[in-house]
Amino acid sequence: MFKLDFSKPINVHFMGIGGISMSGLAEILADRGFKVSGSDRAPSKITEALEKKGITIKYGQVAENITDDIELLVYTAAISADNEELMEAKRRGIECIPRADMLGQIMKNYEVPIAISGTHGKTTTTSMITTILMEAALDPTVTVGGMLDCIGGNLRIGKSEVFVTEACEYTNSFLSFFPKISIILNVEEDHMDFFKDINDIRNSFRRFAELLPEDGLLVISADIDNYEEICKNVKCKVVTFGTNPDADYTAKDVVYSDKGYARFNVVRSGNLGIEDAQERIELSVPGAHNVTNALASVAVADFIDVDRDSMLEGFKTFHGADRRFQIKGEVNGFTVVDDYAHHPTEIRATLNAAKNYKADKVTVVFQPHTYTRTKAFFDDFVDALMIADTIVLADIYAAREKNTIGISSKDLETAMKNKGADAHYFEKFEEIEKFILANCKPGEMLITMGAGNVDIIGDNILSK
């Protein structure tokens, strides 16, 4: 297998270089003196920014893009096996590796690579840890799945030996990683177009945990069913966190502000051998789920000896990542929030956080993400969405799929109405916007929710 060495730069070509993750990897290599080129279907703000940094990009993926000087090609999962550019690289004998393998190889070039995994909360926790590390002047390199204000985007290139990244289980991509510190936030059913069942998912996370070296650290939620099974074979130190009273890191005396921001004392188990000062942590992001995200972050901060004042200030100054309970503004007296939640557990967490915000009424505009996910969690979606006072449904965002299942958002509307919910389905975004402007009142909250393009609705409403 190919091994990347920062001390020996080579010529690397990225197919799909305009993607949010691929662009970040390309920038890291370019910063390290590698000659980087790439291709994509069409220009974008991301590709334009890369070109300004001296990276050559070709538009349209054709065989002519593969030149004699290319030594390694990196491709995304969206690239098909019969892609002309990929086929030409293989014909020439150029080594071709998927994006996940490249990310793993980059991790190997840092002394302290940190990987944050879990069915939910990866982007928020990665961003939270990043803010703490920056407050402590540890100068990390970071690649995150959302836009983070404090680093001006989804990538930060630091000069230290600390590297922070999300670790996604989909297609087992995180099994190509080489972390020294790993977090497992939660393990639930998702991505059922790839995994067979929950046991298949648990096995994937178990294999991820086993990647850690003897001098590494696994931070795992004690709220995961039978979490011991996931970490039983690891060689490294294991610490736990969560609401489980037997966890190594727990929270007590939790209270919420009018905006739903938690204040709590972090309690460390005597088994850790760490002085338990029971710091009072103040968060600037809402929801009970962020209390547990913060506990996982504390465990990492303790392991790498972040001073406690920096840690506390990092929590206080972290205001969330883009599209994670992001307050976009106010119109006609009601607050507009946008959130990436697209799994029932995430929906519950977001809507419960909204309840803590003390809005008079919560209306959610939900855009389901993929047909397979909608079918797999249909009843859970119905129950989770009904936490809101009013539910507005947009069409399912297809993403990588075609509707071979015969399911629609109209089905969700019918199921919720049968349970007495105030649910409404509209085919077009324009219809949803008219409904919201006619029905949302001062003191209420609107949440646009989903992993597709539903955030456009909130932006359009705010512009009127």
Catalytic residues: 122-123, 166
438, 288, 420: which is closest to 363 by C-alpha?
A: 438
Report CA torsion sign: 212, 215, 221, 226. positive
Residue tagged 């300004």 (tokens) = 52
C-alpha distances in angstroms, 267 versus 204, 222, 280, 314, 451?
30, 14, 10, 18, 35
- For residue 248, the tally of other CB atoms under 10 A from its CB is 23
Amino acid occupying residue 209: A
- For residue 453, the tally of other CB atoms under 10 A from its CB is 12
Query: Could you give the CA distance from residue 98 to residue 79 in angstroms, rounded to a whole number?
Result: 10
Question: Going by C-beta distance under 8 Å and a sequence separation of 6 or more, which residues neighbour residue 24?
Answer: 143, 154, 155
Query: Could you give the CA distance from residue 8 to residue 11 in angstroms, rounded to a whole number?
Result: 10
**At residue 117, what are phi and psi to the nearest 5 degrees?**
-120, 175
- CA distance between the termini of the chain: 55
Q: Please state whether 10 falls in left (phi above 0), alpha (psi between -120 and 50) or beta.
A: beta
- For residue 368, the tally of other CB atoms under 10 A from its CB is 29
Per the CB < 8 A criterion, the answer to whether 217 and 195 are in contact is: no
Query: Could you give the CA distance from residue 345 to residue 332 in angstroms, rounded to a whole number?
Result: 31
- For residue 3, the tally of other CB atoms under 10 A from its CB is 8
